[in-house]
Amino acid sequence: MSSSALRTPELSLRTIERLVALDATTGAVSAMPAVRAAMRRIPELSADPLGLRARSGEGLAALAELCEVIGWILFDAGFYRESHRMNARALALAEICGDRWTARFVLLNDSMLKAHTGAPRAALEAAARVHGARALPARVSSLVMIRQAHAIALLGGHREPMDLMARARSRFLDGISRHDPYWAWWIDSTELLGHRGWVLARLHRWDQAIPLLHEAATAPGPAYRSLFTAQLLSALARAGAWREAEDLIAALAPRAARIGSVRTTQTLGRTASHLLRSPGIPAPLREAAAFLLESLPVPVWAPVLHGLHTVGFRT
């Protein structure tokens, strides 16, 4: 076995630690240069998974986990096709080495990606693949139901999404057990609250959605949870809560350029554009929406994407 093969598990794990820290503190966009560096430093990230079968199970598991993390960062940074391809690579590697928990995590991430990109039926199918012969532990079961609730709401369901969210909350309250995987730590009460508010917003139940999204948006947490703030602004705008929307933009716009989640900035941009186009919007809110659009970051990640194309992310 080559020295590079021996180093791969340790290098993968160190890279995972760095990428997760960057994503949590400054966001996915800020983590993209580190993703590009990892692609250059670890050639196995671009190799055919079937060609890596001879590697150790430990090495393949670490590589699968690294691919899962990169797939998540690509998703939140707005590179949706590249994210799906990295998810597929992570899933293949996890299946080769028998790492069922990483495979399940990847499927749940891909379900979220498919819902976000307008394929709710495919999102449901991905979530359904998480189930196995044995019952899932509480936190994983809760996350499956959250993914299902979003997809079914997008498909036009009314009662079923909130029934699923109620069951997800019940399972969450069962607490962490020794059967939960290592990655279940991030499914906390704020995450659950924000998704419940988001699903309610998908159902246009603004009076119920807004307080939950506000609570989730104002709670301390990792950078990617700025998405709950964007969903809150969208709900306020569509509910006609003009003053509250204006106040939120006033608080948000000065720091909008530093938001590291493209999903978030895209949602904010769509809401601001909606406010500018819609008739009957008060002039102060219209001016605030224009200011927010001016404050959002420009797509400075384009050169990074070009760099990814040179190291294995071809579209």
Contacts of residue 52, Cβ cutoff 8 Å, sequence gap at least 6: 44, 60, 63, 93, 96
What is the rounded CA–CA span in Å between residue 237 and residue 270? 11
Closest by CA to 177, choosing from 150, 140, 128, 220, is 140
Whether residue 228 contacts residue 268, with contact meaning beta carbons closer than 8 Å, is answered with no
pLDDT band at residue 133 under the 50/70/90 scheme: confident
The rounded percent of the chain whose pLDDT value lies above 70 is 92
For residues 295 and 5, the model is more confident at: 295
Q: Taking residues 33-61, what's their average pLDDT?
A: 92
Is residue 185 predicted with pLDDT exceeding 90?
A: no
From residue 306, alpha-carbon distances to 25, 302, 303, 310, 311 in Å are 25, 6, 5, 7, 9
**Which residue is it, tokens 């966009």?**
29
Q: Taking residues 125-152, what's their average pLDDT?
A: 95
Q: What is the pLDDT of residue 6?
A: 42
Q: What is the pLDDT of residue 306?
A: 42
Q: What is the pLDDT of residue 80?
A: 95
What is the rounded CA–CA span in Å between residue 141 and residue 265? 30
pLDDT band at residue 301 under the 50/70/90 scheme: very low
For 3-18, what is each residue's pLDDT tens digit? 454 456 889 999 999 9
Is residue 110 predicted with pLDDT exceeding 60?
A: yes
What is the rounded CA–CA span in Å between residue 275 and residue 230? 14
For 229-251, what is each residue's pLDDT tens digit? 999 999 999 999 999 999 999 99
Q: Taking residues 111-139, what's their average pLDDT?
A: 95
Q: Taking residues 188-196, what's their average pLDDT?
A: 95
Q: One-letter amino acid identity for 201?
A: A
Instruction: Judge residue 254's burial from the number of C-beta atoms within 10 Å of its C-beta, 0-12 exposed, 13-18 middle, 19 or more buried.
Output: exposed
Which range scores top for mean pLDDT: 103-112, 133-142, 174-183, 292-301?
A: 103-112
Closest by CA to 195, choosing from 227, 222, 218, 220, is 227
Q: What is the pLDDT of residue 132?
A: 86
pLDDT band at residue 198 under the 50/70/90 scheme: very high
Instruction: Tell me what the pLDDT averaged over the chain comes to.
Output: 90
Is residue 303 predicted with pLDDT exceeding 90?
A: no
Q: What is the pLDDT of residue 299?
A: 54
Q: What is the pLDDT of residue 183?
A: 86
Q: Taking residues 175-196, what's their average pLDDT?
A: 89
Q: What is the pLDDT of residue 305?
A: 39
Is residue 204 predicted with pLDDT exceeding 60?
A: yes
Kindly report whether the global pTM for this prediction surpasses the value 0.85. Answer: yes
For residues 213 and 53, the model is more confident at: 213
Is residue 1 predicted with pLDDT exceeding 70?
A: no
Residues in the chain: 315
